[in-house]
Each structure stands twice: as structure tokens, then as C-alpha cells.
Structure 1
């Protein structure tokens, strides 16, 4: 086995999380897309989990930046620094000549594509390729994307939701909304503050969301106890939030997701819809774990829904599998 193939690298640079898979080693990096910089020197103080944990706790000499917002690179310099330090942290700085593949949303511009490619080439990669996320998800779920059969991939990410039809390695029809699971967390934070007078952090909101958050009817009511700081006493306090409250809280965002899927169905040519009625929808992304979402999509569309086996990892795993098929994917124009 050659040195280059031993170090084929797949990267998913997302709004919330960056994941890196190295051939032969698996997923070696899976941390928040977050970087802490010194305001005085511009030097990197921390990346990933350490940087995210500094939010709300640092002084005015340090700034915390999340370079990707709603699936779009908003701070190119911070993104470049974050990517460099991620690759250095996994030893990529000493492994020159690697082949890298990056997954991107369907909406990425040529400038954003070029930016990502330049980042990894500057860090030492020999070659860099781009693959669209829905295609990577399809590959990660064992689909032969060179096949003309059509599949619908719905990804519920932290900052963006994307629905796309995948056929022959392309995404001829897709729909995107700048709503994601982060929005649900912020809604919980706002609701708890306004109704219960309790200040909570995003991590607490996210935990409550995954524990009892639901978007469809459940057989039994669930509730979660959340801890924070009382607005009235400034002391630590606890309150309870129910799954029913969250369902009402999430309705507007979930309606947007359902409408996005319905719009895609309306825009999909009949010959492709025939395949999709048979194959159904693959539900992916961290939001795929939201209770009741799959059942709601089935109810609203009449299509069967299959959740990815590892919805939070299938994009980077599919990108890694794509590297194993690189020759055929290049030959067929998929990458």
C-alpha cells in the first residue's frame, strides 16, 4: 500500500462540527467548528471543543469565532486558521502529499469551493477534491451513485437543512433553507428565559432538546429538568420543560423543513419521482435524531423514510468511501 493511499483524508467542515477521517485510522477529529483568537496578536488560543467551552467565559482579550454560519463560510481568514490547526493537530502538517476530499452543500459558490481547496493545498495536500454532501451521504449509506436510480437525501444540520435528489452522482434538483438544529436550541433558550425567568446556555438547551424534544405525537409525555441562573435571584435554579412545550416551540422551524421537502417533491421530474417513491427518503444529519421527525415526514409526504445508521457521521464516512472510488468518480465526472 502506498504512502499516499494510506493517508487519504476526508473532511466535513460544517456549521457546528468539523470531522476528519484518515484512511486506516478512522475519524480522528470530531469537534466544534470553533476557534479562539487573541485580539492583540491574532494568534490561535484554542480550537474545537476547548474554544467552544470558552464561550461566555473569556475576557475581552480573546474572541471566539465560528467561521461557518448557515453552511456558508463567513470568515475566510478564521476558517483558514482553523483548518490549518485542525490538520496540524492530527499530524497532517508532517504528512505531505496526501489526497483530500471535502464535502460541501449544494449551494456553495465557486469562491467557497476554491477557498476550501486552497486551505488544504496550502496545508500540504498533494491534491484536493470536492464532493456534494448529498452525494457523500448516499455513498455513506451504501448507494451506488453511478446508478441512474434516484434517491432523496434530506440532511438536517446545525445551520442549514438541505433536501436533494441524487442520481448518476449529480443533484439535479435540490432545496435549501437556512434553518437548523442550532435555531431550535436558541428557541429553547429564549422560551425558558421568557416563561421561567431562567438563563441557560446553548449546551443545556441542546441536551434538553435531545432528551425530550419531539415534533410529532408521542405515546407518553416526557419532561426534562434544566438548570440555569434565575433572572430574579441571580442564583442557580431549576425548571422543568415538557416535550409538548418543545413541539409547539419547534413547529415553525419544522414546518419550514416539511415545506422544503414538499417543494423539492413538486420540482422533481416524474421519472425521478417514480424511483423516489420506491426508494424513499434518507434522513441524515444531527437533526435526524430529533424524536418524531421521520414519522412526521412520512405522514406529510407519504414517502418511506430511512434514517442513516450514523446520521452525524455519514457525510464524512461517505466522503471517505468516495476516496476509495476516486478513479471511477473522476471518470464519470462526479468529482
Structure 2
């Protein structure tokens, strides 16, 4: 049986054997180019079963969340369950719900950060829906300092750096500094300037460490002025008293180190052992992000690493 469905009317759905009753307005009002706006185009003839239901071969249990989002998109709360979040990314892609995908996926092209960690870093940053553009990825672009400078060379750019050690620990920092400007740097038209450059105080963070501490944000204990970088790579703190520094070709040596407490608060009392359990460490991956001026939708490389769940802790009052 086929019929032409008028926009705005009641519609019955059978999604993977689970039955739903809603309206076409609910399914089409939040996204202009979604699966449903195409499905209910006046030019389509919809095939229904004998009870008038439209069958969609997707997971009905997950569609409960999809429909909840479409019924109340502005106030929809992202589920806290990490496994469910990953499944919802796939469903959002199938139904072409780009705004939902953008809320779930905040750090474009990351292979290090799961959805929970992306949300934690945005909470540390102060904007829970902030999106980030990948500037540099060490396994793709090279671990040498020259590669880092080539891709991150842009004046007054606020950056979020995520470091993974060979033991799988995750940590890093956010900084606003004057990178060396070069004529062959990549086009960064998709990235913001630095409207937050003067507003954001730099900080270090841990997501996963050797001591199983909660994700923690470490604030400066003294003023840290952005400086002009010309020969050094990734480093946090003041010259000659860095709290965190990554060496040239850090994947091949143990010259990278942590000295937390010199410029940033050592609130958990582990000092040089804060991030990896030892003073020096070797890196496995480094990702550097900058602010994106608009949501960037990409789920092909969503991180699937499952880290232990933990509650959020910061050093802020």
C-alpha cells in the first residue's frame, strides 16, 4: 500500500520492530537536510504496512534517544553512558542529524579522545559545546619540532594539546602563545582568531594517569605570559622552569618530562610523577587542536578507546 503523506500529520513508525507514534513536524523541524526531511518530501510515495506504519531498519532502542532529541532538541541531555554515545554517533550520521552529531562530537579527527573526555576538556575550557579543529597530529605529521612548527605556526592562536604516553596515559594543556609565523603555514580559515586569547587562562590537565586519579585541571600559580616560540616545541610554563615539556622526536627518546608545581598548581601532590608515574617519558601520539568557528561534523575517526569512568575534579573553587 502506498500513499502520499502530508507534512505536519501524525505518522506511525516501525523502527527495527519497535513501534513509535509521532508527527512529521517533530521529525523534520530541527534539521533541514535530514533523513526525514527527504523521507517526507511531497515528491515521495511512502510504503506502509497493513497498519499504516513506515518501516525503518535501524535499532529501535537507539531510536528512542533519537526521537527524544527531535522532540526537544534544545533541552536534550546527552546520555552519560559512553557506549551509548558512540552508538548514537552512528545513528545521528544515518539520520543525517548534523546538529546532534556536532553536540556529540567536539574534537574533529581525534583518535585519542573518547566522547566523555571531549566533554571533560570542554568543561575545563569553560564552553561545553565548543568545537575544535585538529592542527597537528604527530603520527601523521611527524614527531620532530619542525613539523610541529610548520602546522602550528600562527600568531596569537589558542591551542589545546593532548599527549598520549607509550603507557597509554592521557594529559596535556591549553595555552595561548605567539607561535612563529611562517609563509607556508596551512590555511586556517575554518578556525577562529583569538577572541578568547586574552580571556582564557592557560592550564594543564590529566585525563588518565598512572595513579588512577580523577581527570584534573591544574591552574597557574603565577602569571604566565604568552611568548614567541622559535626553536622550542611543545612546552608549558616559563623558559627554563617548564612544568611539562615535549622533546624533539619524543616518540624515539625519554627526554620529555614533567615538573608540575613550578608554574601550575600541584593539587594532587604527585609533582614530577603526575602524568606518567615518572619524571621522564616517551610519547606515542600528540594532537594539537585550535578553536573551530563552527561545528565540524566527522565521525569516521571517532575514538573507540574505552577508559575507566571517573568523576570530574578541578582545582577551581
TM-score by length of 1: 0.23
Which one has a larger percent helix, Structure 1 or Structure 2? 1
TM-score by length of 2: 0.24
